[in-house]
Amino acid sequence: MQATTIQRHYDEVIASHYDFDPQSVIGDSLGRAIAQIHRRQSHDAGAGPLNVLDVGVGTGLFLEKLRAKAGRDIQPYGLDISQKMIEIARTRIPDIVADVDDAANMDDHFQTQSFDLICTHFITGFVPLGVLAPKIGGKLESQGFWSFVGGTMAGFPQLQQKAASLPLKNLLFGGSKWKVDNLVYNPADQDEVVRTLEQNGFTVCECETFCPDLHFNNFNDFMEFAYYGGWLTPFIERMGLQNANRFVRWLLNTFYFPARDQHNIVIALAQKP
C-alpha cells in the first residue's frame, strides 16, 4: 500500500477518532507493553533521562502513559506518517521532538541521536518487520530495548471468513478475488516475530500474544472500530463500505450483524546486545 494512501487515511479519517479506542484494544495492548518495559528497564529516579523514540507515535498516547509510570525523566521523540497525528501528539506532549515521515525512512531522522528505548506499535501492517529490525538496531544504544506491538495475519478470523463468503463477495466486489496480504505486511504469528527479531541480533526478553474479544452490535459499531479507529481502514475502502448505501447497510445489519470476533496481537520486548 502506498505511503500517500496511508497518510490520507490517518490525516482524513483516523486521527480525529483514534483516541476513542471504542473496544479498548489500543489501551490494553499499550498497557501490556508498558508492563514489559517496567519489568526490564531501569526506572531509578537518580538515573539520567531515558531517550525514547516512538516510531508511529500517533497521538502520543503511549509516551504519555510511559511518562506517567516512569520513575525517571523521559526525553520523548516521535516519528509518524500523519501530520494530523503529530499535531495531536504535540498538544499531549509539548516537549516532544517529532518529525513527519514514513517509518521506512526513519534512518533520515534523528541522525545524531541514539536511544535507550524504541517503540514500534501497530505499524508493521505498513512497514514489514524485517525492514524495521535493522533500522531499529542501528539507532539503539547497546543494551537498549525495542518495544514491539503489532497485529498478525491471524487477526479477525470471523470477519475474514465473512468477507470471503460468496454473497458478500458478489455484493461488494462483483465476485472478484483479493487477499489480505495484498494490503498489509503483518507477520503471520508470534513465531515469525520472535524469529525475525533473533535473526537481526536481538534477544527477546518477553513475548506474548494478546487476543482481545470484539463485539459489533451493528454496522455502525463495526465502522467506528474498523474504519474510523484505523484497524481495517484499507480493507473497508477496498470494499467501498464507507460509501455503503441504505440498502447495503440494511443487508449487512440483517445478515452479518451482530458479530463477534477476536484480534491477534503480538507484544514483545527485545534487547540489543
CA dist 236 and 242 (Å) reads 7
pLDDT of 1: 57
166 to each of 24, 48, 74, 169, how far by Cα in Å?
32, 59, 52, 5
Cell 445478515 maps to which residue? 255
Helix or strand run (H / E) with residue 270: strand 265-271
DSSP string spanning 185-198?
---SSHHHHHHHHH
Torsion angle defined by CA atoms of residues 86, 91, 94 and 97, in that order, rounded to the nearest 10 degrees: 0
Q: Going from the N-terminus, what domains does the chain have, and what CATH number goes with each?
A: 3-156+184-215+262-271 (3.40.50.150)
pLDDT tens-digit map of 176-225? 444 545 567 899 999 999 999 999 999 999 999 999 999 999 999 999 99
**What is the model's pLDDT at position 156?**
93
Question: What is the percent of the chain with per-residue pLDDT over 90, rounded to a whole number?
Answer: 78
Across the chain, mean pLDDT equals 90
pLDDT by residue (tens digit) across 33-80?
Answer: 999 999 987 555 456 789 999 999 999 999 999 999 887 899 999 999
Q: What is the pLDDT of residues 155-178, one digit of tens each?
A: 999 887 877 665 665 655 555 444
pLDDT value for 184: 79
Output DSSP code: residue 21: -
Q: Are 236 and 156 in contact (CB under 8 A)?
A: no
